[in-house]
Structure 1
């Protein structure tokens, strides 16, 4: 049996997402758990990385105090968001695949930057209506940073959210980093 858990950094963290999940109990009764280490940047919030590495690491490090590494799957998004700026509460960012993000940057003739702290790519562009946008997404560099963390902490593996989104580089990274076991 497996369970999916909201990301948290302490047993006493407040909020309905956090109080509902007792990591220690889930670790005891489950064969493995998936820690949802994504959605810091989300469709209904301001523009920011979806799964910034420092926050991901902090959550996983807390999880390791409650659950054996051999039972922890790091949840990972394979999508990004395109936010219209300025952010207006109640607005919704558009979910996009990594490939769509790369093509959008190319179509708008803008460079893709990389936040070395968050370990996440992003870019800004102006649409045809002269509205500014910021796009945060995943690429080979950001996923490799997550793979490095999985190996460093000897986790069970990774679990993807929205696996069918076009991101061909991902499969090469998996092949280069892991021995895939199909069960």
Structure 2
């Protein structure tokens, strides 16, 4: 009896040991499998609000971004351009360099991530030649990618925003290849890539510069796709709203069919145009307010486009028509972005904007910190 019990105990010990060994092996296999599975990165904050600060408004823009930093979780100083060979250059004049550095320091001290914008601006003008040389020469393209990554790393930026405009339909594949290569290089350094694209409602859009930008391909490579939801009417067009809400919604509807919503960022203009004799001059909200006050022209609000406007006659007898943006028109776009479930918005802060914009922004799209 004792012998049988001892044998039984040995059998149970052997079985228990086997089970323990099998469990150990299974656990190791499971660990290998789980480790090999693609990891889903932590999701971005629920709402992104970017202050886009052109260099001519950098001081005031920085003041506004810092003062309202509870509404803003990223800034994009629009300060870099290209030289004639496609190398990096600054857009601002040399005498402004010290002030630009001071403003960037203030933004860093406020702990707001900086993703500066790089545009194909050469000597103050949009130029096609320099960027075309980069896109269609593999050696130049790689050098350009390396130069951008080095800039981002050296200045400890969070990433870069590419704003290459007025490309041609034949640049489509080359521009996509550049975005792919730059995105991979930045991601390898833990940095982000944003790409500004013209707003369109079909793949072809309305002209060559729309054809050149492949929403779907760029949306796969970039962390942010910034849709320029403005200039529906512009300086050389007939007068009209800068960003009519119906068009903005159509742009978002199309973009969502091509790009993951959590990568779409809607550009919201905070400026307008003053048209006279077939030409429109850009105006800030404050300039529009002063013009309407000076000429006793009470602004009207067009409910169909969600845009304010007014007409006046200047001191020389010239007729003017002004369309601009205020807190109400901006709120309509904030609500459209929220309704579309996209990543967020970037505010094109051309100059002094309507102070009421910020409370409306907080109500519609509170920035996640």
TM-score normalised by the chain length of structure 2: 0.46
Partner of residue 252, structure 2? 60
**Residue 207 of structure 2 is aligned with which of 15, 29, 45?**
15
- The separation in 1 between residues aligned to 2:353 and 2:346, in whole angstroms, is 16
CA separation of 1:163 and 1:118: change in aligned 2, threshold 3 A: same
Q: Could you tell me whether the CA contact under 8 Å between 2:271 and 2:351 is conserved in 1?
A: no
The offset of 1:19, in angstroms, is 0.7
The correspondence of residues 115-134 of structure 1 with structure 2, limited to 5 A, is 115-134=302-321
Which of the pair has more CA radius of gyration? 2
Aligned to 1:48: 240
Following TM superposition, by how much is the alpha carbon of 1:14 offset from its aligned partner in structure 2, in angstroms? 5.2
Cα distance change of structure 1 residues 14 and 82 upon mapping to structure 2, 3 Å threshold: closer
Provide the residue aligned with 1:148 in structure 2: 335
Q: 2:347 aligns with which of 155, 160, 174?
A: 160
1:108 equivalent in structure 2: 295
**1:4 positional shift:** 0.6
Secondary structure of 2:204 counterpart: coil
Deviations, residues 114-160 of structure 1 (Å, cap 9, x unaligned): 11111100000010111110000001110010011011111111112
Aligned partners of 1:157 and 1:98: how far apart in 2?
Answer: 22
State whether structure 2 residue 214 is matched by structure 1 residue 25: no
1:36 aligns with 2:223: no
Aligned to 2:117: none
Q: Distance in 2 between matches of 1:163 and 1:71?
A: 24
Runs (4 or more) in structure 1 with deviation over 6 Å come to: none
CA shift, 1:41, in A, is 1.2
Name the counterpart of 1:138. Answer: 325
Shift of 1:178: 2.5
Aligned residues: 177
Q: For 1:73 and 1:149, how far apart are their aligned partners in 2?
A: 12
2:65 paired residue number:
none
Q: Deviations over 1:149-183 (max 9, x none)?
A: 0111111111122354333222222222232235x
The 2-side partners of 1:163 and 1:124 are apart by 22
Counterpart for residue 175 of structure 1:
362
User: Structure 1 residues 100-109 or 28-37, which shifts more?
Assistant: 100-109
The 8 Å contact of residues 338 and 365 in structure 2, kept in 1 or not, is answered as: no
Q: Which has the higher helix share?
A: 2
TM-score when normalising by structure 1: 0.91
Mind listing any 5+ residue stretches in structure 2 that lack a counterpart? Answer: 1-192
Cα distance between partner residues in 2 of 1:181 and 1:135? 35
Superposed CA RMSD in Å reads 1.5
Match of 2:172 in 1: none
Cα-to-partner distance string for 1:29-78 (whole Å, 9 max, x where unaligned): 11111001110111122111111111111111100000111111001111
Higher relative contact order (CA 8 A, sep 6+): 1
1:94, CA displacement in angstroms? 1.4
